[in-house]
Amino acid sequence: MTDAPGAEPAAAAAASASRLDGKPFFCRQWAFTKISQCLQHKQSKLGGALVVGGVGSGKTALCSELARPTAATGRQLSLHARLVAHHFCRTEQADSLRAGTFVLQLSAQLARSRLLPGYAEKLRDPDVSAVLTPVFCSRQPEEALRRAVLFPLLELDEPPQPLLFVVDGVDDSHRAAAGGAGSVAALLASHQHLLPRWLLLVVTARRSSRDVTRLFAGFRKIVLDDLRKANVVTDLQQYILSRLEREAALRQHLSHETAEMLNQLHIKSNGCLLYLEKVLSGVSEGFIRLSEVREIPGTLNGLYLWLSQRLFTKKHFHKALPVLNVLLAALRPLPVSTIFECVRLKNAAVTCDDFERRLSVLARLTVDTTDGARLLFHHSYAEWLTDVKYCTQRFLCQPEAGHGMLAAWLLRRAPQLAPDEVQLLAEHLVRMEPGRPPAEPDLLPLLLLWSGAEVETCLQDGQPDSPVTLEILQRAGAETSPLTLAARHGHADVVAALLSVGAAPDRPDADGWTPLRSAAWAGHTATVQLLLSAGATVDSVDGEQRTALRAAAWAGHDDIVSALLSAGADVNGTDREGRTALIAAAYMGHVEIVRRLLDAGADIDHADGDGRTALAVAALCVPACEGAGRVVALLLERNANVNHEDREGMTPLLVAAFEGHRDVCELLLEADADVDHSDGAGRCALFAAASMGHHTVVQLLLFWGCYCDTIDPEGRTVLSVAAAQGCIQTVRLLLDRGLDEGHRDNGGWTPLHYAAYEGHADVIDALLDAGARVNEVDNDGKHALILAAQEGHVSAVAALVERGADVNLRSHDGKTPLRMAALERHKDVVHYLVCNGADASYRDMDGRSTLYLLALDNRTAMAAFLLDSGADVESCDLEGRTALHVSAWQGHTETVRLLLQRGADPDAIDAERRTPLIGAAWQGRPAVVRALLAHGATVDHTCSQGATALCIAAQEGHLECVRVLLDHFADPNHSDMHGRSALKVALKGRHEAVVRLLEEYGASSAAPPPQPPPLPVHQPPCHASASNASMNSVSTAETKPSSAALGGASPVDSPSSTFEKRQSCASFGNHSHSKSSSNLTDSTGKSSQTSQPAADASPTPAAVSGGLSFTQQLQRCRRRGGRPVETTTVAESPPCSPAERRSTPVSPQAHLPLIYADPHDSRAPSAAVRPRTSAPFTFDQNEHMRIILGTKSGSSSVSSESRPRRGLAAQANSGLKAGAAALRARAAPSKQRASALASDGSSNGFHLRRETPL
């Protein structure tokens, strides 16, 4: 049924509406100005305008204001006067996301527009109106858009000024469609070149939807939330001011104390107007206090979590969960009564009063539409509720449960369902378990049939986008009319009876197949004759644009082809891929049909979408057993172009050579085909035949005198390709023709390399017999034996070794054939090579043996095999590390046991005197530690720094390793050359469990005598002038405890053995270990880098309300409210981005090396840093007030030249601690404590700054 021009279906009408219609709109005049500029320059090559922004940045509000303006003045009014159509892709309205609905809605709006006179008249054309049906638009939206929208617009006279067309949320449609195919975004992007020059397309999408924004690369981009732009920051401030101006309930919360909170709010919003709206609405309703703004997270997802935690207790959310599940699963807005019925299906005990209470809990998270439906307030909140990364397990919802409730509600009234509701029922049934096929494929179709729903007619007004849903409906009997079913099965008498009672002969099924096409494809000649006599359209097409003639030619039904041609079928009609009936018949090898089509005037040289003619596809697909190829011979007799090239430059001869059809090649050569033609990749017919191993075709081409010495773009000759393919007959033919057996390609590979790599031993023998050099190396220094060993070809390896290949030859990366075979786990190749003299203990340039590399990769079986072959178990690298060292470090327990069983020394030492036990303890490998100790490893062996395995395991916090070592009588009181025992390094690392374990085994915290320790080998000497400052300053790295802190303590007088008291006994500086300090530095470094551009782009005060700062404008709002005005002491500053920061001076701190260096770390140790002096820090009450109020201090005690560039987070953390310590010291009665704090503050103090709260 065809809609009259201008008639808009219900789904299309819903898609043209926005939930923001009639809502007050503020700001964004600059965006309207940019759209106006795009409209003025539309006659140029500008494709359109792409409005992007994050979630809640106001994209839909902008489009709603263009479609239905709420303001009395502004540029949006002039733009609205030139708007011809608009479309809103709404996630809560599934129909609005469909391309077919978009085309119907667009054509209806254009027909009603007074700016396009004559368009409605064009829709009355039968050819145009035929495509404006829900069925056609849902099946072929591209064709409907072209024929009903774009082509009629191009035929109209150009209007006096450019016009506007707006589509909001194209990325939502893209996400809803499978892979983006068939979405509104893809539809517009693929047809934007057909838009009239006078029509500007404006689309909106999220900035994060890169796959969508790339579709509109030629559009001018308008970013709504770029905080580097002054207009965006001004919009945020003006939105707050406009809300204060309009709402007295909001204005009454404004005071001297809360003015700064609004300033923080616009910074925290980060360009998101939805964030501002939710917070300000909560303040206006009394749900949120302005003083709580500092507690609200600075992201939209964080705000949703904060609101949910505030709204719901665990009990309340559990009761509201079914309602949320139904709202999330709804494919169209649902009235409250429907939601109530769905919830009752899950819990029959829910009463009306109980349901109303549940809705009241959700009142701040839902909105009502004009027609009484209930929705979530924003689709981003729906996304949040289903993303456990943001909503956490506490608020995670299950839309699948909602689909189940909606499906049950529809099943209860299945006999009364309309066709679109039957599709909706099938969609909900499918989505109950998304991405998972049902255990019984027939279960859902049977359920639909059992329900009593009218499945047979549910597809008459369109079909669902989901192929799974469509398949279920079709299996349940949808869309198949009696006439189509009878025609497909050849029941001619039934077809005659149905036609006699008025059945439509051209009614298609869901795939677009008419009864005529179905009968022609199935070969039912009598049925075809009946349908043709009943007036069936002979050239009707399906969804792939295939006619009945093409179907009959493909299937080989000669008599039906004759009947269709007699009925006037178009012999040259093409399908979607550009293929005619002649190409289809030639592809399938139907000679008589090809002759009949040629006699009827078929274009013999017509090329399809790939550029292939009937001759090319015949050469491609004719089986070799058919001898001379009758189809090819017939086409050549009718003067088909023998040298026609397809889109890849391939001729029919090249195609036949690839396929190995010798008879077809001979026919083509006799018809003067070019024997030396090359395709786009540089391959000729000889290359094609040799690469596929067709030696008979190669012999034929050589007989016809083809050029043999051609080289492809990779530098390969035909002999190289033939050697790689492995056809010995082809190789011998080419060698007999005189091709060079030693030719090197671009990578240095000879034909022998190719044969060895593929493992063709007979080809290797033939090439060596022809004079190929067995030890020839490629550009990487690899000879053929290395490639054969790498791929595990024993026969090829044997052939090469027997002909004199060097079994110990090394490639440029130091690998021998034995090593390559061992790393690839080819035991038979390794055994053969060892038996033929390969060195199993060979070491590369880094001193690593093959056994070493196998231990590193935990290849235990191959390591055992290599040891059986005589490999040296004690072979070490340039650092002195054996295979046992690396396997212990990696934690490969089985490999460690193997090496120990084969005689590896458990106390082997490397260049730093570290044993495998130390490496295993360092990495926390308790199983390896046990294995080493069981084989006699020395438990208290010391490295070059004097540390034992117990000290290192305690430093790293590996509790189980510490326990194993102590159980094997490791000395818990051993100290290294710096006086650091296992207990001290465990305290330094805050490993509480390790500390307790060491104390259980008798570890003591006694300090060594205060004498200067010897320097470790990796630490450079400190300068004398910096030594005192280093001892007195607080270090951010791990350092030796100060003798002043430890000198007065004795084992008898030490505090009780608690973790906290042990830490107070030995001060390690700043109470933070090196890892946390470095993390702070890294994070603040990133923050400072990203914040700088935003700070540079902040607008000037003059950009906001005639020179007034945001705080001053807030004060004006207070004056309008009639309340007394006080001058605030908040620092006046121009509006800025949330990332703006000020630089902060900080006193330098010494960076000392770690306790023990990583033995596998190749980085050189850093030199000692000379600390710089800074002025002492003074902190008084006035300074404290300046920090709180954010005012500027009178002077700075540290010059800008002396400010070190350090991480801001570490500086702020250290400075805040120093300031707090100074305040406590001022009130403390103890002089000793005040002295200590002053000393600490003098080394770390700096002038604090006022941070922008986030």
**What pLDDT shows up at residue 44?**
65
pLDDT at 1014 over 80: no
Average pLDDT over residues 886-903: 94
Mean pLDDT, residues 972-977: 92
Of residues 1101 and 593, more confidently modeled: 593
Name the region of 792 (left: φ>0; alpha: ψ -120 to 50; beta: rest): left
Average pLDDT over residues 963-983: 93
Whole-number Å distance between alpha carbons of 788 and 794: 8
Q: Does the structure show a pLDDT above 60 at 977?
A: yes
Tens digits of residue pLDDT in 509-556: 766 788 999 999 999 999 999 999 988 889 888 878 899 999 999 999
For the residues of 988-1055, what is the DSSP string, one character each?
Answer: HTT-HHHHHHHHHTT---PPPPS-PPPPPTTSPPPPHHHHHHHHHSPPSS--PPPHHHHTT--TTTPP
Q: Would you state the pLDDT for residue 500?
A: 86
Note the pLDDT of residue 554: 92
pLDDT exceeds 80 at position 687? yes
Average pLDDT in the chain: 79
Residue 455: pLDDT band with limits 50, 70, 90: confident
Percent of all residues in the chain with a pLDDT value above 90, rounded to a whole number: 45
Residue 1181 CB coordination number (10 Å): 9
Q: What is the C-alpha R_g of the chain?
A: 41
pLDDT of 419 reads 85
In which band, very low, low, confident or very high, does the pLDDT at 1215 lie, cut at 50, 70 and 90?
very low
Percentage above 70 pLDDT, the chain: 76
Query: Residue 1006: what pLDDT?
Result: 56
- Tokens describing residue 955: 């430093």
Range scoring the smallest mean pLDDT among 78-87, 680-689, 1234-1243 = 1234-1243
**pLDDT, average across residues 1069-1083:** 35
Look at residue 484 in the predicted model and tell me its pLDDT: 81
The top-scoring range by mean pLDDT among 120-129, 379-388, 503-512 is 379-388
pLDDT, position 510: 61
Least trusted range by pLDDT, from 139-143, 555-559, 594-598, 1153-1157: 1153-1157
What's the pLDDT score for residue 474?
75
* CB-based contact 507:536 (threshold 8 Å): no
756-793 residue pLDDT tens: 999 999 999 999 999 999 999 999 999 999 999 999 99
- Mean pLDDT, range 220-246, rounded to an integer: 90
Q: Is the pLDDT of residue 308 over 80?
A: yes
Q: Which has the closest alpha carbon to 944: 972, 916, 979, 909? A: 909
More confident residue, 1208 or 283: 283
Nearest to 996 by CA among 957, 956, 947, 946: 957
pLDDT at 4 over 90: no
**Alpha-carbon span 603 to 614, nearest angstrom:** 9
Range of weakest confidence among 474-488, 825-839, 1174-1188: 1174-1188
Average pLDDT (336-340) is 92
Question: What pLDDT does residue 516 have?
Answer: 92
pLDDT(1161) > 90:
no
- Residue 126 CB contacts under 8 Å (≥ 6 apart), including other chains: none
Q: Which domains does the chain carry?
A: 10-225 (3.40.50.300), 237-307 (no CATH), 313-475 (no CATH), 822-1005 (1.25.40.20)
Q: What is the pLDDT of residue 325?
A: 93
Question: What distance in Å separates the CA atoms of residue 1225 and residue 458, rounded to the nearest whole number?
Answer: 82
Give residue 435's pLDDT.
58
Tell whether the model's pLDDT for residue 447 goes beyond 50: yes
Backbone phi, psi, residue 334, to 5°: -110, 140
Dist. CA 817–CA 812, nearest whole Å: 13
HEC per residue, 54-82: CCCCCHHHHHHHHHCCCCCCCHHHHHHCC
Written as six digits, the tokens of 419 are 């066709």
In whole angstroms, what is the distance from residue 213 CA to residue 538 CA?
A: 43
pLDDT in tens, 75-94: 889 999 999 999 999 888 88
Span 146-164, pLDDT tens digits: 999 999 999 999 899 999 9
Of 500, 472, 475, 476, the residue nearest 486 (C-alpha): 500
Residue 1249 has pLDDT above 60, yes or no: no
Q: How confident is the model at residue 138 (pLDDT cuts 50, 70, 90)?
A: confident
Average pLDDT score over residue span 1099-1106: 41
pLDDT higher than 60, residue 874: yes
Residue 581 pLDDT > 80: yes
Give me 664's structure tokens: 């077809």
**163-168 and 366-368 beta bridge pairing:** unpaired
- In the chain, count of helices (H) and strands (E)? 67, 8
Quote the pLDDT of residue 902.
92
